[in-house]
Amino acid sequence: MFENLTDKLQAVFRRLGKRGVLREADVDEVLREIRLALLEADVHYKVVKDFIARVRERAVGVEVAKSLSPAQQVIKIVHEELVDTLGEPGRLELQGSVPYVMMLVGLQGSGKTTMVAKLARYLKQGGHLPLMVAGDIYRPAAITQLEVLGRQLELPVFDEGQQVPPPQICANGVREARRRGYDVVILDTAGRLQIDQEMMAELEAVKRAVKPVETLLVADAMTGQEAVNVAAGFHEHVGLTGLVLTKVDGDARGGAAISMRAVTGIPIKFLGTGEKADALEVFHPDRLASRILGMGDVLTLIERAEAAFDQEQAERLERKLREASFDLEDFLEQLQQVRNMGPLSQILDLVPGMGKLVQDVSPEVTDRQFKRIEAMILSMTPEERRNPRILNASRKKRIARGSGTTVQELNALLKQFRQMQRMMKQLGKGKKGTRGLMRMFG
């Protein structure tokens, strides 16, 4: 989402780094470019004005003048002020009597129904027993969509069709949760293409009926500055307790994420990073600021890895490393687990400097290439995967035909795999294994 903004800011900082001493005029020139980059990214103009003023006050003072590396100090100031603009991380406030009621609101098309399922899955993993309530009786197939998601995730859904008014459905859903022992109720509510009085009156009625502990606005990050106006409108009528930004994996310019907290004062609690049920991140302002400035986000990368990697598989791999018997079957297994962490482009952006490096040096490294590697290995027999040394010319031609690739691509894969095998053997001898590797990153 922040690719354009990141590129522009990194270009500014690269020029800044070439200067040994920073004069006030240099700082003003840099801040002009940062201002333009933020405005082009659709950050609200008032937010940009306040942000630049705060950075300038610190950058032209003693803080930078006494620094051994003025350019790095300016980057540090920009990062800290960006974190301050994004605000304190918001967390779910599940307090009071059980069941805790969470009400999701937002415009039509923002991804509310999918977010209901994502939050239910997230809470279930945290030890809660959530019940999803289908309170959107107007959008065609909204109830069906929630029921399908419920079956996929093995989560319960309460619905009463399209004839009962939404406030009554939601109240009945809370009573059902209390009766059946569910401790969290997540309400899906109706949206419109734009804010109108009828929708707001209904949401106000729902809120009076169920008294939610959390009222979360699900906002589409791709709507830019309009998302700020939407948040202000909902907050005025139903009193929001948090924001959930969806579609942050898209090509939005990112201004909404930076602006919404500063303009509305409502904390951002979650980021939706894709369509899948596990594509949900707890909001961390410091991590997002690092991503915006191209510094990567190693902590989120580790969290994704821990969630995606099966512990039993990891332990089996560790034994194979110690025995120096890592083969293409294991390699395929690891590839598939890495793909479970999300799109490759997203993963690389979390590694400091890697997103830009791959973009500059090797743009062909994409999810499509992952699939080609997977196809080549799947076109081999189990024996060939366990012992690739038996791959002669005719076998390689067969594998290339079966995977829709070339013999040259297969040879390149085998060469990379041999290099990886050597590295894995060294790790195995060092008795570090996968856990040791994770500790190195931690």
Which pLDDT belongs to residue 347? 62
Comma-separated ranges of CATH 3.40.50.300 domains in the chain: 100-292
Superfamily covering domain 301-441 = Signal recognition particle, SRP54 subunit, M-domain (1.10.260.30)
Which pLDDT belongs to residue 29? 81
- The structure's pTM equals 0.66
Which of 133 and 357 is assigned the larger pLDDT? Answer: 133
Q: In sequence order, what DSSP letters do the residues of 155-193 get, joined into one string?
A: --EE-BTBTS-HHHHHHHHHHHHHHHT-SEEEEE----S
Which residues, including other chains, have CB under 8 Å from residue 332's CB and lie 6 or more apart? 374, 377, 378, 385
Does the pLDDT of residue 301 top 60, yes or no? Answer: no
> Rounded to the nearest 5°, which phi and psi values hold at 277?
-65, -25
**Could you report the per-residue pLDDT of 260-281, keeping only the tens digit for each?**
888 888 899 998 888 888 888 8
Superfamily covering domain 3-86 = SRP54, nucleotide-binding domain (1.20.120.140)
**Could you report the per-residue pLDDT of 141-161, keeping only the tens digit for each?**
899 999 999 999 999 999 998
Residue type present at position 94: L
Which pLDDT belongs to residue 432? 44
**Could you report the per-residue pLDDT of 53-85, keeping only the tens digit for each?**
998 888 776 555 555 566 677 778 888 888 888
Comma-separated ranges of CATH 1.20.120.140 domains in the chain: 3-86
Pick the CATH number of 100-292 from 3.40.50.720, 3.40.50.970, 3.90.1150.10, 3.40.50.300: 3.40.50.300
**Cβ distance 22 to 12 under 8 Å?**
no
Which of 353 and 78 is assigned the larger pLDDT? Answer: 78
Residue type present at position 427: L
**Could you report the per-residue pLDDT of 83-108, keeping only the tens digit for each?**
888 888 788 888 888 999 999 999 88
Q: What is the mean pLDDT of the chain?
A: 79
**Cα distance between residue 404 and residue 298, in whole Å:** 35
Q: In sequence order, what DSSP letters do the residues of 210-273 get, joined into one string?
A: H--SEEEEEEEGGGTTHHHHHHHHHHHHH---EEEEE-TTSS--SHHHHHHHHHH-PPEEEEE-
Which pLDDT belongs to residue 11? 72
Which of 14 and 304 is assigned the larger pLDDT? Answer: 14
Does the pLDDT of residue 297 top 50, yes or no? Answer: no
